Amino acid sequence: MKAAREAAPDRAARDAKIFRELFALPAFTEARRYFLYRSFGAEADTSRIAEELLRRGKEIWYPRVRGREMETVRWTGQPFARGPFGIEEPVGEGEDVRPDVCVLPMLAADKACRRLGYGGGYYDRYLAEAGRFARKVGICYAFQVVDALPAEAHDIPADLIVTDAGVLARGGAGDNKTSASGRAVWRGEENRQ
């Protein structure tokens, strides 16, 4: 999946579509506190999302890795520094915050809004604690969505998966409904059911 992301020649256009889909969702735009990831490599870009949220007067928080956990650091436009995995992390003091929305990175997602991360469990641990009441929004490119992913008991699914082709909602989260089978359904440019 990493290779497919890196090979996608139209990532900027895909990122722009994800941006539009995301900011068309009241479930996303009506929040006050946002926990974002800092894009790394060929992940769906969050820099424009952060800039727009800041412009709208929203609170933005980024993760910083501390051992096997993540702490939250408020971002108001200050610099970033490379963290232990080479991912940029915000400079500043860590604070205990309960975000309204958590934007999640992923290698892949499935139609039940399960996400495949990078294997460290950092986001699952964070979501089990600080993010447990937040709306969980994964963003990725449409080609990263597969029919099904393996899941373990500790894996926390997203409520919404936002892609360049539309939005996938789990269990009625957001503006979508589930199908009769209980699977999430797409709202977007094409029918992904």
* Domain spans, the chain: 2-188
Segment 146-173, tens digit of pLDDT: 999 988 888 889 999 999 999 999 875 4
Assign domain 2-188 to its CATH architecture.
3-Layer(aba) Sandwich (3.40)
pLDDT surpassing 60 at residue 181: no
pLDDT of amino acid 70: 85
pLDDT over threshold 70, residue 187: no
- SS3 for 91-152, per residue? CCCEECCCCCEEEECCCEEECCCCEECCCCCHHHHHHHCCCCCCEEEEECCHHHEECCCCCC
pLDDT in tens, 2-25: 666 566 778 889 999 999 999 999
pLDDT at 189: 36
Tens digits of per-residue pLDDT, 38-76? Answer: 988 888 999 999 999 999 999 999 988 888 888 899 999
Share of the chain above pLDDT 70, in %: 84
**How many residues in total does the chain contain?**
193
**Average pLDDT of the segment spanning 18-34:** 95
* More confident of the two residues 190 and 35: 35
**Tokens of residue 161, six digits:** 């998966």
Between strands 135-139 and 101-104, the pairing is parallel
Cβ neighbors of 4 (< 8 A, separation 6 or more) are 143, 144
Inform me whether the pLDDT recorded for 184 exceeds 80: no
**What is the rounded average pLDDT for all residues in the chain?**
83
Distance of CA 138 to the CA centre of its chain: 3
Q: Give the separation between CA 157 and CA 176, rounded to whole angstroms.
A: 16
